[in-house]
Amino acid sequence: MGKLALAAKITHVPSMYLSELDGPHKGCRQPAIDGHIEIGRRCRELGVDTIVVFDTHWLVNSGYHVNCAPHFEGVYTSNELPHFIKNMPYAYPGNPALGKLLAEVCTAEGVNTRAHDATTLALEYGTLVPMRYMNADQHFKVVSVSALCTVHNLADSVRLGAAMRKAVEAHYDGKVAFFASGSLSHRFAQNGVAEEFMHKMWSPFLETMDHAVVDMWQRGDWKTFCEMLPEYADKCHGEGFMHDTAMLLGALGWDEYRGKVEVITPFFGSSGTGQINAVFPV
Does residue 234 register a pLDDT over 90?
yes
**Domain range spanning residue 253?**
3-280
3-state secondary structure of 167: helix
The CATH number that applies at residue 114 is: 3.40.830.10
Give the pLDDT of residue 282.
97
Mean pLDDT, the chain, integer: 96
* pLDDT of amino acid 177: 99
| 44-93 per-position pLDDT tens digit | 999 999 999 999 999 999 999 999 999 999 999 999 989 889 999 999 99
- Measured CA to CA, the distance from residue 216 to residue 221 in angstroms comes to 5
DSSP-derived letter for residue 10 is: E
Mean pLDDT of 167-171: 98
DSSP notation for 198-267:
TTSBS-HHHHHHHHHHHHHHHHT-HHHHHHHHHHHHHHTT-GGGGHHHHHHHHHHTGGG-----EEEEEE
Domain count, the chain: 1
Q: What percent of the chain has pLDDT over 90?
A: 89
How much is the pTM?
Answer: 0.97
